[in-house]
C-alpha cells in the first residue's frame, strides 16, 4: 500500500499495529507517529498513538495524544478517545484525571455503556462509594454481561458502603458464575468461615 501511496496514514497505522503485535515496539511507534505526522488533526490517529503510549506506560505522553484527539471536530467517536484517556489515567494512578476524561466520554456519548464500570472503579478509588454504586446500577441496567471484574468491583463498593446484604448477593453471583476464579474461591472461603462462627 505504501508503494502506491507513501502518504497513506491508514497503511502507516496498519504497520504500527503489525509491528506492535510482533514485538517490534520501536518500529511500531515510528509507524504510529508517521501516521500522525501525515494527518496531525485526525482524532483517530491521535487516539491510536495514545493507546500505544499508554500500553507502554508512557502516561503523560498518552494523555496529550488523547487530548489532541478530542480537539478534532470531525472525529466520529470522541467518546472512545475520552474513555481510553480515562482508563489510561486510571492506570497511571491519576484518579481525578481519569474521572475528568470519563465524564467527557459520557457527555460526548450518554449511551456509552462501557464507561460505567471504569467510572465506578475510579469513584471508589476517590472514596465516593455511593456515586460508584450508581454507576454499577447503570451498568446492570444496560444489559452488559456481568464479568468477574464487575462482580468483584460491586462487592468492594457494597462492602465500602457497609451493605453486607448486597455484598453477599454479589458474592453468590460470583461463586455461581465464575466458580473456578480466585475471587470466587476466596468469597466461598469467607462464606464458609462466617457460617461456622
- Each residue of 115-128: pLDDT tens digit? 999 999 999 999 99
Q: What is the pLDDT of residue 128?
A: 97
- Evaluated on CA atoms 173, 175, 181, 185, the torsion sign reads positive
> Residues 47-67: pLDDT tens digits?
999 999 999 999 999 999 999
What is the model's pLDDT at position 59? 96
For residue 1, what pLDDT is reported?
63
pLDDT in tens, 62-74: 999 999 999 999 9
Confidence at residue 180, expressed as pLDDT on a 0 to 100 scale? 86
C-alpha cell, 79:
467518546
Q: pLDDT confidence of 42, banded at 50, 70, 90?
A: very high
Range 156-184 average pLDDT: 92
Amino acid at each position: 500500500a505504501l508503494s502506491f501511496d507513501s502518504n497513506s496514514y491508514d497503511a502507516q497505522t496498519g504497520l504500527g499495529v503489525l509491528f506492535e503485535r510482533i514485538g517490534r515496539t520501536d518500529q511500531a511507534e515510528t509507524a504510529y507517529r508517521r501516521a500522525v505526522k501525515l494527518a496531525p488533526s485526525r482524532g483517530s490517529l491521535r487516539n491510536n498513538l495514545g493507546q500505544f503510549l499508554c500500553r507502554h506506560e508512557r502516561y503523560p505522553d498518552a494523555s496529550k495524544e488523547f487530548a489532541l484527539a478530542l480537539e478534532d471536530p470531525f472525529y466520529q467517536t470522541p467518546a472512545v478517545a475520552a474513555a481510553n484517556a480515562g482508563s489510561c489515567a486510571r492506570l497511571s494512578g491519576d484518579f481525578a484525571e481519569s474521572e475528568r476524561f470519563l465524564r467527557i466520554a459520557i457527555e460526548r456519548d450518554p449511551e456509552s455503556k462501557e464507561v460505567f464500570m471504569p467510572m465506578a472503579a475510579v469513584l471508589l478509588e476517590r472514596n465516593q462509594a455511593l456515586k460508584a454504586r450508581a454507576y454499577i446500577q447503570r451498568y446492570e441496567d444496560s444489559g452488559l454481561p456481568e464479568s468477574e471484574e464487575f462482580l468483584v468491583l460491586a462487592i468492594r463498593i457494597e462492602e465500602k458502603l457497609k451493605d453486607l446484604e448486597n455484598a453477599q448477593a454479589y458474592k453468590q453471583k460470583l461463586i455461581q458464575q465464575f466458580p473456578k476464579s480466585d475471587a470466587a474461591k476466596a468469597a466461598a472461603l469467607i462464606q464458609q468461615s462466617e457460617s461456622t462462627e
